[in-house]
Amino acid sequence: MHASVRESEALLKSRPPAPLNALRAFETAARCLSFQEAAGQLFVTPAAVSHQVKRLEAYLGVKLFERGHRAVELTAEGAALAVSLSELFAQLDRVLDRVAAPTAAHLRVSTVESFAAKWLAPRLHRFHHDHADIQLRIETGNERVDFVRDGIDVAIRYGPGAYTGVHAERWMDAPVFPVCAPALANDARRPLASPDDLRHHTLLHDEGATGRPGVPDWAAWLEASGATGVDATRGPMFASMYLAQEAAVARHGVALGVAPLVEEDLQRGRLIKPFDDSLDNAYAFWIVRRQGADTGPAVDAFCRWLRKEASAGAIPTPG
């Protein structure tokens, strides 16, 4: 055995055991950048979190936080330790899950609000029927997720792809076309016989299509359809595709529907497609998972179900 190895082992043996409570308190405080928020997550007082952090600083002999009057900031050493601890605690949780007594598998899925409401929710009863042993938690958001830090198993994203450091599978295309309530299309005073007739109707806009290359907005669709005399900027702007689509269902105007998201409303007769013209979309729906990791049977089952549902197309009726 080399002398350097023996010296390293001697140093490891001479150091007292790491204070696990202090490590957990520090990791939570570093993630929240707030002793108050960390205390809430750990069900202790802020003073207890502060005490544990000071204990860890004394153990390591370095300062982990810069403490201000109303805020705390990580030092360089604290930031480096926080990243490693987040990964270690996530790995520990996965190991404990594997060795614990068999229970229902828990699966955390992150997706955008519009997709969760308009595509995923109407179909989930079928997944629960086929996989009663898997308990799903659906979280919404379109920001990039850290699978280890955030504890996410599968992310469904609407975007251009080119996701780095993960396994991303292009899953469903998302062509775009106008949709509206049947009553609006059948209004004899304001017929929708051609795209030019949109000048008499309110255009509903989704800000998610604004400024994204290759994502069709009203200006792009009207130009492609050859419509004339229609102001592409007229009408209210909505923060999500879901809100614009719901406004169309409520007969407030005509929205640009994204194919997978309007599928249910078209099948149920809440919306109709007044024109045949649709535009290709540079954005698509992607299934995103950790890169090169053993994701487990629950993740595999959920991804297989997603592919099956997308190929089936029709939305099953509960019962």
Other CB atoms within 10 Å distance of the CB of residue 213 = 7
CB 262 within 8 A of CB 118: yes
- Encoding tokens for residue 240? 């999500």
Taken in order of first residue, the domains within the chain and their CATH numbers are 3-99 (1.10.10.10), 105-174+283-312 (3.40.190.10), 176-268 (3.40.190.10)
Q: Give me the mean pLDDT over the 54-72 stretch.
A: 89
Query: Taking the model in full, what pTM does it have?
Result: 0.67
Q: What is the CA radius of gyration of the chain?
A: 26
Q: Is the pLDDT score of 161 beyond 90? A: no
The string of DSSP codes covering 99-167 is HSPP--EEEEEEE-HHHIIIIIGGGHHHHHHH-TTEEEEEEE--SPP-HHHHT-SEEEEEE-----SEE
Query: Which tens digits make up the pLDDT trace of 191-241?
Result: 899 999 999 999 999 988 888 889 999 999 999 999 999 999 999 999 989
Between vectors from CA 283 to CA 282 and to CA 289, what angle results, nearest 5°?
A: 135
Q: What is the per-residue pLDDT across 101-119, written as a single tens digit (0 to 9) for each?
A: 555 678 899 999 899 999 9
Give the pLDDT confidence score for residue 164 in this predicted structure. Answer: 83
Distance of CA 90 to the CA centre of its chain: 19
CA distance 178 to 220: 12
